Amino acid sequence: MLLKNKNAIIYGAGGAIGGAVARAFAQEGANVFLTGRSLESLNHVADEITNAGGSAKVTKIDALDPQAIEEHIDRVVKHTGSIDISFNAIGIRGDLQGTPLVDMNHEDFTAPILTGVKTHFLTSTAAARHMVQQKSGVILTLSASSSMLSGRDRKYHLTGGFATACAAIEGFSRSLAGELGPQGIRVVCLRPNAIPETWNPDFPEVRTYMEDGTVLARLPTLNEVANVAVFMASDRASAMTGTIANLTCGSILD
């Protein structure tokens, strides 16, 4: 098991990506602490994990509330002795895409940026303060292919503030990795393309357009993203930090 006895906090664990990663972490032996704003969705993921023999605990937390984040991490560390992995998968208002920038109001433009940067800063630095004391740990952040779209795709998608948010999260991840590396802490950002399991199937023309723009002629799956998260959080990726894991199936080549 790649994550045996590791203690992992997942923010946004009731969502599609957060839930998939939580299940994969637990399958690889991690004790997972699921957080989010909906107890119903969190309990559903926790039940799946425990029914499969894994360990999962649920806490309702707003990942934009610094006090709630700090208090929860303190409780986890007091209970387990360490926090080994932190992963933030909360949604950052990708639903506000689709309007040209010149027609978009500033609140809709800044909402993804403010949400994405704030939550990643709060959860990552809170975890880091504990990881520094133990001289180890992995912080996983989450962006999307919007951070590096081609000109063709920027014309097509009208990403609003979402692309700016993703680029900012990647920049923050690199800066944090530089600061925390000497303390034995790694920071890796996951950058998936649009995952068909997570969005509206009523627009097949959009999926066709996006698949045609990838080298593999397809889009990534939740399982693929979760598997990479496991690897990046494990000791097998111990030489990797400050990097962006490209999970775009080749829509971005870097």
pLDDT, tens digit, for every residue of 70-97? 999 999 999 999 999 999 999 998 888 8
Please state the domain count of the chain.
1
- The answer to whether 234 and 178 have CB atoms below 8 angstroms apart is no
236 domain-assigned: yes
152 domain-assigned: yes
What pLDDT is recorded for position 58?
98
What pLDDT is recorded for position 201?
67
64 domain-assigned: yes
What residues have CB less than 8 Å from 85, skipping those under 6 apart? 3, 6, 7, 8, 9, 25, 30, 137, 138, 139, 140, 233
| Residue-number span of the structural domain to which 139 is assigned | 7-247
What is the CATH number for 63?
Answer: 3.40.50.720
Q: What is the pLDDT of residues 219-233, one digit of tens each?
A: 999 999 999 999 999
Q: What is the pLDDT of residues 140-151, one digit of tens each?
A: 999 999 999 988
What pLDDT is recorded for position 239?
98
Confidence of residue 98 (pLDDT cuts 50, 70, 90): confident
Model's pTM, two decimal places?
A: 0.96
92 domain-assigned: yes
252 domain-assigned: no
19 domain-assigned: yes
